[in-house]
């Protein structure tokens, strides 16, 4: 019961924060990209609870059928429960294919790099579409990244799903997001779905890409925060899997600092 009350407080706080921010910004509401995942499900629901305009955007690009189905069901649920939600679908598959085909002579022969670049291109195309819709309708683009993704392993695309106006759940761990989803009454199929960024057109999960589950990454993030100067002796107290997860976490965290830190600026003022 205590956890339920705490999550209800979190829910109310985020809804108020969203509404206050939009109102002070002179904006009408929010645009949210929905993927069929729990993060976008929670964010779109919180935005709907503000009473301001909410436009949900489904933007399939060779989309996995299960992702598209969950997204469709969630938008229908939102529209049944909130009269301020409009659902839109923009199929970007043809645009993406043309983009990749036009660039194919210059992509080289590294298939893994081409796949990764293509996945990131999908995310950036979606970001562009979100901002097109947001600007036309006087809305803010609401981000869907959680704390582990945004500040732990940097598991997002720079100037893709990382390109947003505000981040309502970026201080919540994935486990917190799941608990909040239950409080919000979001469809069970979304709550129990295997986390996936949906950028590959197949069934690969976030864990497949990272090599560790979100509960493991949460543990690693908390361990590093609580033990910033841990020693080899400290590591000896951990299990083999815990040491493996810590290595995975540190690798992603260090490699993705360029996403989490401000863009470097070459200062010339001292030369004048």
User: Angle 224-228-234 (CA atoms, 0-180°, nearest 5)?
Assistant: 80
pTM: 0.94
pLDDT in tens, 108-130: 777 888 889 999 999 999 999 99
Summarize pLDDT for 173-209 with one digit per residue, the tens: 999 999 999 999 999 999 999 998 888 877 789 999 9
pLDDT, tens digit (0-9, with 9 covering 90-100), for 13-44: 999 999 999 999 999 999 999 999 999 999 99
Domain hosting residue 93, numbered range: 2-204
Torsion 195-197-202-208 (CA) sign: negative
163 belongs to a structural domain? yes
Domain harbouring 24, CATH code: 3.40.50.620
Residue 1 has pLDDT above 60, yes or no: no
Q: In the numeric block, which tokens belong to residue 150?
A: 């945004």
Question: Does residue 242 fall inside a structural domain?
Answer: no
Residue 146 confidence (pLDDT) above 90: yes
Q: Is 199 inside a domain boundary?
A: yes
Q: Is the pLDDT of residue 211 over 60?
A: yes
The reply to whether 236 falls in a domain is: no
- Is the residue at 226 inside a domain? no
Separation in Å, CA 27 to CA 22, 31, 98, 141: 5, 11, 34, 11
Q: Is 233 inside a domain boundary?
A: no
Local confidence band at 66 (pLDDT 50, 70, 90 cut-offs): confident
Tell me what the pLDDT averaged over the chain comes to.
Answer: 94
Residue 261 lies in a domain: no
Domain count, the chain: 1
In a domain, 120, yes or no: yes
Higher pLDDT, 204 or 158: 158
Could you give the strand order of the β-sheet that contains 85-89, starting from the edge strand earlier in sequence?
85-89, 53-58, 29-33, 139-141
């Amino acid at each position: 019961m205590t956890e339920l009350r705490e999550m209800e407080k979190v829910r109310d706080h985020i809804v108020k924060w969203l509404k206050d921010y939009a109102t002070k910004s002179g904006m009408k509401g929010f645009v949210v990209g929905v993927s069929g995942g729990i993060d976008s499900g929670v964010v779109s629901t919180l935005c709907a609870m503000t009473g301001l305009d909410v436009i949900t955007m489904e933007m399939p690009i060779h989309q996995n059928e299960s992702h598209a189905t969950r997204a469709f069901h969630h938008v229908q649920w939102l529209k049944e429960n909130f009269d301020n939600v409009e659902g839109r679908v923009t199929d970007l598959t043809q645009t993406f294919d043309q983009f990749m085909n036009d660039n194919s002579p210059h992509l080289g022969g590294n298939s893994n790099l081409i796949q990764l670049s293509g996945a990131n291109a999908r995310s950036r195309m979606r970001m562009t579409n979100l901002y097109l819709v947001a600007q036309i309708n006087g809305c803010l683009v609401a981000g869907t990244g959680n704390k582990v993704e945004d500040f732990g392993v940097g598991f997002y695309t720079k100037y893709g799903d990382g390109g947003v106006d505000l981040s309502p759940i970026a201080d919540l761990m994935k486990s917190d997001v799941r608990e909040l989803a239950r409080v919000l009454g979001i469809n069970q199929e979304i709550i129990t779905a295997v986390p996936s960024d949906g950028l590959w057109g197949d069934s690969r999960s976030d864990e497949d890409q990272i090599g560790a589950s979100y509960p493991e990454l949460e543990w690693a993030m908390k361990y590093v925060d609580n033990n910033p100067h841990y020693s080899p002796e400290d590591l000896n107290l951990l299990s083999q899997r815990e040491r493996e997860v810590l290595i995975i976490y540190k690798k992603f965290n260090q490699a993705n600092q360029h996403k989490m830190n401000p863009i470097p600026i070459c200062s010339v003022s001292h030369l004048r």
